[in-house]
Amino acid sequence: MFYKPKVSVVIPCYNSESYLKKAVDSVLNQSISELQIILVDDGSTDKTPVLLQQYKMQDNRIEVITHSKNKGLGPARNSGISIASGEYIFFLDSDDYIPPNSFEVLYDKAQTEQLEILQAQHIVHQNEEKIVMPPDLPVFPNPVTGIRYFNSGFFIEPKACVKLWRTDFIKKHNLKFATGFYEDMAMVFHAFTLANRVNNIAFPAYHYMIRQHSITQQNVTPEHIAGYKQSLIDLQDLFLRPELTGKHSAFVAAFFLYLKELSGMTLKTGDNSIIKETKIFVDEMTRKYGQFLSGNRLLSFPKRMLLKRSPFLYARLKKIYKKN
- pLDDT tens-digit readout, 64-75: 999 999 999 999
Mean pLDDT of all residues in 293-304: 92
Our CA dihedral for 99, 102, 103, 105, rounded to 10 degrees, sits at 150
**Residue ranges per structural domain of the chain:** 7-209, 222-323
The percentage of residues in the chain with a pLDDT greater than 70, rounded to a whole number, is: 96
Q: CA gyration radius for the chain?
A: 20
Mean pLDDT, rounded, for 236-264:
95
| Coil vs helix vs strand at 116 | coil
**pLDDT on residue 216:** 41
Give CA–CA dist 242/223, Å, rounded: 32
Here the contacts of 239-247 (C-beta below 8 Å, separation 24 or greater) are: 239/288, 239/289, 239/292, 241/193, 243/147, 243/151, 244/147, 244/150, 244/151, 244/193, 245/292, 246/151, 247/295, 247/296, 247/297
Per-residue model confidence as pLDDT tens digits over 106-146: 999 999 999 999 999 999 998 888 999 999 899 999 999 99
- Amino acid of residue 304: R
Q: How far is 9 from 55, CA to CA, in rounded Å? A: 14
CB-based contacts of 29-34 (< 8 A; 24+ apart in sequence): 29/100, 30/98, 30/100, 30/101, 30/102, 30/103, 30/104, 31/100, 31/101, 31/103, 31/104, 32/6, 32/7, 32/103, 32/104, 32/107, 33/61, 34/3, 34/4, 34/5, 34/6, 34/7
Whole-number percent of the chain with pLDDT over 90: 85
Question: So what's the pLDDT on residue 159?
Answer: 93
Question: Where does the pLDDT of residue 214 fall: very low under 50, low under 70, confident under 90, or very high at 90 and above?
Answer: very low
pLDDT tops 90 at residue 15: yes
CA gap 203, 104 in Å, rounded: 12
Confidence of residue 322 (pLDDT cuts 50, 70, 90): low
Contact criterion met (CB below 8 Å) for 209 and 129: no
What are the phi and psi torsion angles at 294 (to 5°)? Answer: -50, -50
For the chain, the residue count is: 324
CATH superfamily for 7-209 is: Spore Coat Polysaccharide Biosynthesis Protein SpsA; Chain A (3.90.550.10)
Residue 212: pLDDT band (50, 70, 90) is low
pLDDT at 210: 85
pLDDT score of 215 more than 60: no
Give the pLDDT band (50/70/90) at residue 311.
very high
Q: Mean pLDDT over residues 160-184, rounded?
A: 94
Q: What is the pLDDT of residues 84-115, one digit of tens each?
A: 999 999 999 999 999 999 999 999 999 999 99
Residue 324 in this model has a pLDDT that exceeds 60: no
- As a whole number of angstroms, the distance between CA 90 and CA 172 comes to 17
Strands 117-126 and 129-133, sheet pairing: antiparallel
Q: Across 68-172, where does the E strand assignment appear?
A: 88-91, 117-126, 129-133, 163-166
Give me the pLDDT at residue 318, please.
Answer: 82
Q: Please, which pLDDT band fits residue 274 given cuts at 50, 70 and 90?
A: very high
Pairing of strands 198-209, 88-91: unpaired
